[in-house]
Chains A and B, each alone.
Chain A
């Protein structure tokens, strides 16, 4: 039942009830709250039950950013109360929005204010600009009964009390001292008196002031409780528990989209390695070995919010007891990098794919030039560390905004003599540097480029202008920004299985293959990583990926099945 009181701001706790990393249990109009302050100061007032099995969140753990349920370790984010982690399903937990009920919160006058449907402003406390917050006095009596009794409250000579519009009571003494008393209705027969006095006090004076009121209010409390015991007890208030969203009823099916997350790793460390970039050290749950990787390899990380993201390993050769990845917070993140920055924590279990390498490193070059831009440094770091340990010649050019943006400084320190940092260059200045760096193509010389799209394009262009052959220029895009056209319909013949399938408009080759039970590996599914590459035996390909080089595209012998299509009516694929 909703009453006028539900739309009022009412104090439910003292600010001092929310010390660092504590969770406070409060109650208002029959509803329990878990009240906790995050390390950023934000005060959260949530329904006091985990959405999973109803366990009180007030017995949970406040880690400063999230509240963790004691029962199954579900974690809920500061501010939004959205569930960020379900340990029972580290691989594929909900691509669903599981969100606890939150209630409006304000903090003022040393009190925390709430109202299930609070509107408007908290009561103005004119004349209480400098104030002292009293200790709360719980009382077993109905709110209205307490309010009435409080008008007779007396802490000094000549006290007069009056009830304010908001139901609070102001008591003014002859000497001008005043106290404003708010009554928090926890339940029908349970209230808490929360008071504010109109003067600040320090040290012994402060203690004395609190004591005076605690004693006077306690005396009044005994009187009120004795009278209230004579009243007919009211029915407890009911605070109906809301139903969860309809789409949460059905258990989500295990992920079947073919992007396997066969490995479980634990986040052993999460560190800020540069401005806006965190590094994660991932270790096996048992034992001390992870599958072998090659320099340039990436893993798929299956996030709790259902997203799958690709990150390159930065490991040096032989480091198979852990994987290290670097993740940049993307300003236009669709939830991947944000989840890693804000939600993933040390100790979490992550589901990842085995490493795949679609960006292989040749080790037969007499000289290798690495061109890294921003977070594009990650795969090149692994490559450079490999060449360095084999004493193979290379140059490492790292383009960054500023010193603050240099990630993985320690790893780069391993090959300091080969590394050149280029800081804060404009696009034109970058091109000028690249012209010098890439000036000398030659036999057994190779370039590896990874970085943001425009920088990568520029580097490829410079390399081409300088006379580098396509085969010597290796690159990896983060993402495909090509505008995809999926409007045509065509047929695919699968040469090895003698099957013909139709790819309709709006569907990809990859999707059609999967629908027909052909499990094609994939990773980024946007034409950037190269995992779903497939041989083409016949037919013209409409390339829409950024993985294949121009000469590979012209040759037409490969297709990225996640984005590319047929130009002709049919393609014969080598599957």
Chain B
């Protein structure tokens, strides 16, 4: 294991989706380059073990339909998502996607509106509606990044949206590998649909993305929702896997930011301040 970043190791990470772990099943996965075995015995009991001779057990939690573990000593609990406790919402996993790129690149892509017309053509964006309006970004006192007042024209913002609308987003980076968005519900403009990505860092250039959606049920089918998330993510994956380098560069002169990238710039600076080296390329002194 090459990761020695305490902020990452002492945090909880998703390693499996609970529904997909059958009784008597053992799944091998990788977290920070270390093999991890997730198993469910015939009585339904779940364990997560290291790949050592003694098969040492790792800490375990089941939450939001996922199985979580921590390779170090957990310093803080799994994030709290109030939307997941509202009874009129679908709580849906979007399926787990392996992506051969640093998970931090995936987070940055999730924070980006500029690619909608080009990557999610006809769904989240459409030429010529390409402009990214100025938006607000702040680092909160809880050390989270919030980007608000993000407006973007979308031809088909959700499976139920009819015709193009101006959608308002709020983005929230909780932790290096955890990012969420709040998005205007097309039927109830005063409510937000919520999507969070729990990114499992497999290696510095390899991750598994576990999307979790909390969508207002009214006017929506659960399987349509899952299908929509998978469609969108399948459009992102080939782009993400063609990024060079695969690691996220933290050097300000590695890539060329524009105003639309305000939140990404803060995210990179925040990773630098937290000395996240796993999955990043360092800033040149």
Question: Residues of A at under 8 Å CB distance from B?
Answer: 32, 48-49, 51-56, 59, 70-73, 86-91, 93-94, 98, 241, 243-246, 248-249, 251-252, 254, 264, 266, 285-286, 347-349
> Chain A nearest CB: distance from B278 CB in Å?
19
B260 at the A interface (CB under 8 A): yes
A59, B119: Cα distance in complex, Å: 12
Q: A55-B244, A266-B128, A347-B127 are in contact. List 7 more A-B contacts (CB 8 A).
A: A52-B258, A56-B244, A70-B119, A89-B131, A89-B260, A264-B128, A285-B129
Name the A residues within 8 Å of B52 (CB-CB): none
Select A90's contact among B119, B130, B252, beta carbons within 8 Å. Answer: B130
A91 & B255 in contact (Cβ 8 Å cutoff) = no
B131 & A88 in contact (Cβ 8 Å cutoff) = yes
Q: Mark the stretch among B31-39, B61-69, B110-118, B222-230 that contacts chain A.
A: B110-118
Select A244's contact among B119, B253, B265, beta carbons within 8 Å. Answer: B253
Name the A residues within 8 Å of B119 (CB-CB): 70-71
A285 & B244 in contact (Cβ 8 Å cutoff) = no
B118 & A243 in contact (Cβ 8 Å cutoff) = no
A90, B238: Cα distance in complex, Å: 26
Q: How would you classify the secondary structure of chain B's contact residues: helix, strand, loop or mixed? A: loop
With A70-B118, A71-B118, A73-B117 as contacts: A243 and B251 at CB distance below 8 Å = yes
> Chain B nearest CB: distance from A135 CB in Å?
27
Chain A to chain B: the 6 pairs with minimum beta-carbon distance, closest first: A87-B130, A243-B253, A88-B114, A88-B260, A56-B242, A266-B128
A90 & B131 in contact (Cβ 8 Å cutoff) = yes
B131 & A349 in contact (Cβ 8 Å cutoff) = yes
A254, B132: Cα distance in complex, Å: 12
A285 & B242 in contact (Cβ 8 Å cutoff) = no
Name the A residues within 8 Å of B44 (CB-CB): none
B256 & A89 in contact (Cβ 8 Å cutoff) = no
> Chain A nearest CB: distance from B101 CB in Å?
10
Name the A residues within 8 Å of B117 (CB-CB): 73, 87
A51, B164: Cα distance in complex, Å: 31
A251 & B243 in contact (Cβ 8 Å cutoff) = no
8 residue pairs A–B, Cβ–Cβ below 8 Å: A54-B255, A56-B244, A70-B118, A89-B132, A244-B254, A249-B253, A264-B131, A348-B128
Residues 221-271 of B at the A interface (beta carbon under 8 Å)? 238-239, 242-245, 249, 251-262, 265
B127 & A87 in contact (Cβ 8 Å cutoff) = yes
A286, B155: Cα distance in complex, Å: 12
A244, B258: Cα distance in complex, Å: 13
B114 & A72 in contact (Cβ 8 Å cutoff) = yes
> Chain B nearest CB: distance from A349 CB in Å?
5
A88, B132: Cα distance in complex, Å: 5
Select B259's contact among A73, A248, A254, beta carbons within 8 Å. Answer: A254
Can you name the residue of chain A whose Cβ is closest to the Cβ of B247? A54
A71, B240: Cα distance in complex, Å: 9
Question: Residues of B at under 8 Å CB distance from A?
Answer: 114-115, 117-119, 127-132, 134, 164, 238-239, 242-245, 249, 251-262, 265, 284
A57, B84: Cα distance in complex, Å: 40
Name the B residues within 8 Å of A87 (CB-CB): 114, 117-118, 127, 130-131
A88, B251: Cα distance in complex, Å: 23
> Chain B nearest CB: distance from A568 CB in Å?
43
B253 & A248 in contact (Cβ 8 Å cutoff) = yes
Name the A residues within 8 Å of B261 (CB-CB): 251
Name the A residues within 8 Å of B118 (CB-CB): 70-73, 87
A347, B128: Cα distance in complex, Å: 7
B132 & A51 in contact (Cβ 8 Å cutoff) = no
Can you name the residue of chain A whose Cβ is closest to the Cβ of B236? A71
Select B255's contact among A89, A94, A244, beta carbons within 8 Å. Answer: A244
Select B243's contact among A53, A90, A91, A248, beta carbons within 8 Å. Answer: A53
> Chain A nearest CB: distance from B137 CB in Å?
12
A49, B252: Cα distance in complex, Å: 17
Name the B residues within 8 Å of A347 (CB-CB): 127-128
Name the A residues within 8 Å of B132 (CB-CB): 88-89
Can you name the residue of chain B whose Cβ is closest to the Cβ of A32? B244
A284, B82: Cα distance in complex, Å: 42
Name the A residues within 8 Å of B265 (CB-CB): 251
B259 & A252 in contact (Cβ 8 Å cutoff) = yes
B258 & A251 in contact (Cβ 8 Å cutoff) = yes
With A87-B117, A285-B128 as contacts: A49 and B244 at CB distance below 8 Å = yes
Q: Which of A48, A49, A89, A252 has the most CB of B within 10 A?
A: A89
A286, B164: Cα distance in complex, Å: 10
With A72-B115, A93-B258 as contacts: A54 and B130 at CB distance below 8 Å = no
A241, B281: Cα distance in complex, Å: 11
B244 & A48 in contact (Cβ 8 Å cutoff) = yes
Can you name the residue of chain A whose Cβ is closest to the Cβ of B238? A59
A91, B131: Cα distance in complex, Å: 9
A71 & B259 in contact (Cβ 8 Å cutoff) = no
> Chain A nearest CB: distance from B150 CB in Å?
12
Name the B residues within 8 Å of A48 (CB-CB): 244
> Chain A nearest CB: distance from B152 CB in Å?
10
